[in-house]
């Protein structure tokens, strides 16, 4: 696996959003001491990429709303690239947690890439979700019954080697642990409900009125690689709990699709007979991302 992917497990960028600059510098120095200058440099470059992207989108919001930005992106994919099956990024599909095995690569498009169709090898590498610190921590807690303070991850948080979504003090970490206990009980008793069902909100209307896209994409978020494989993007606590509880399916939103996967979507939408389909397309006729595209004549 590439060095950048190794760094992502140490300085995961979605956690970096909640990390103070001084805390980040301290952790970067720890990586340099333990892993070497190359690892630290790779981590700094990835962090810089996220920082620049966030700043650019802050500037973009001064001249263009999130709704206008999303409409431009979907227009670009449809008109400039000629795709006929551009999917609604707010459409919820239900996926087995067992089918989400890997993290999406740091080489994927940025965190604002809602609705993108992207080529490249970002779906060729990725850390296993079960190897993430949260998944290991939740397994220790909810499967083996360990106290939170005994888990390796929480111990690292309490000693200042990690932060947990901005929680740094012992009191903040304790509150975070209590929240996760409550979330586990809630999901075990009630299962999963999609955000739209839970809030009865129309995300498109809310974003048209000035809402932020990221607020209304609050299911587990995934990308889809060239072979239809799901790659985890966000919602690690809920996904870890779903895996531990053995839940059959969970609601997800798709952020980025690989260009080759989009080609499969286009092929299925154009076909009039099963014999017109490639072997790959026939293999994926029951894929959750394709079901609405498959007419009865192809089943």
- 224 and 152 in a single domain? The answer is yes
Instruction: Give the pLDDT score at 132.
Output: 93
Burial class of residue 62, CB neighbours in 10 A (0-12, 13-18, 19+): exposed
- 32 and 154 in a single domain? The answer is no
Residue ending a domain, choose from 63, 80, 102? 63
DSSP bridge partners of 116: 256
pTM higher than the cut 0.85: no
235-256 mean pLDDT: 95
- 142 and 208 in a single domain? The answer is yes
pLDDT band at 125, cuts 50/70/90?
Answer: confident
- 148 and 288 in a single domain? The answer is yes
- 117 and 96 in a single domain? The answer is yes
Question: Of 5-14, 48-57, 90-99, where does mean pLDDT reach its minimum?
Answer: 5-14
- 111 and 238 in a single domain? The answer is yes
193-222 mean pLDDT: 78
DSSP bridge partners of 224: 230, 257
Residue ending a domain, choose from 63, 98, 114? 63
Domain coverage including residue 73: 65-298
pLDDT greater than 50 at residue 51: yes
- 254 and 179 in a single domain? The answer is yes
Domain total in the chain: 2
- 150 and 290 in a single domain? The answer is yes
- 256 and 207 in a single domain? The answer is yes
Give the angle 29-35-39 at the CA atoms, nearest 5°. Answer: 80
- 83 and 58 in a single domain? The answer is no
230-242 mean pLDDT: 95
- 267 and 212 in a single domain? The answer is yes
Residues recorded for the chain: 299
Residue ending a domain, choose from 16, 46, 63? 63
Burial class of residue 65, CB neighbours in 10 A (0-12, 13-18, 19+): middle
- 23 and 160 in a single domain? The answer is no
């Amino acid at each position: 696996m590439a060095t950048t992917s190794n760094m992502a497990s140490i300085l995961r960028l979605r956690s970096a959003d909640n990390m103070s600059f001084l805390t980040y510098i301290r952790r970067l120095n720890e990586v340099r001491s333990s892993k070497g200058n190359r690892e630290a440099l790779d981590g700094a470059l990835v962090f810089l990429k996220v920082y620049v992207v966030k700043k650019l989108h802050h500037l973009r919001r001064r001249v263009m709303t999130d709704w206008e930005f999303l409409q431009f992106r979907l227009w670009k994919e449809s008109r400039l690239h000629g795709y006929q099956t551009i999917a609604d990024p707010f459409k919820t599909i239900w996926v087995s947690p067992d089918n989400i095995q890997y993290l999406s690569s740091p080489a994927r498009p940025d965190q604002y890439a809602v609705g993108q169709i992207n080529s490249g090898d970002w779906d060729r590498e990725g850390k296993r979700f079960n190897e993430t610190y949260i998944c290991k921590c939740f397994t220790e807690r909810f499967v083996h019954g360990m106290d939170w303070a005994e888990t390796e991850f929480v111990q690292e948080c309490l000693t200042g080697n990690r932060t947990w979504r901005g929680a740094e003090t012992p009191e903040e970490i304790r509150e975070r642990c209590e929240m996760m206990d409550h979330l586990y009980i809630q999901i075990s008793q009630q299962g999963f409900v999609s955000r739209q069902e839970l809030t009865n909100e129309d995300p498109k209307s809310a974003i048209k009125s000035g809402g932020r896209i990221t607020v209304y994409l609050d299911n587990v978020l995934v990308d889809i690689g060239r072979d239809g494989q799901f790659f985890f993007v966000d919602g690690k606590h809920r996904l870890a709990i779903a895996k531990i509880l053995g839940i059959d399916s969970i609601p997800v939103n798709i952020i980025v699709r690989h260009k080759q996967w989009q080609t499969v979507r286009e092929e299925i939408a154009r076909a009039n007979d099963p014999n017109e389909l490639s072997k790959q397309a026939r293999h994926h006729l029951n894929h959750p991302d394709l079901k609405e595209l498959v007419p009865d004549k192809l089943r």
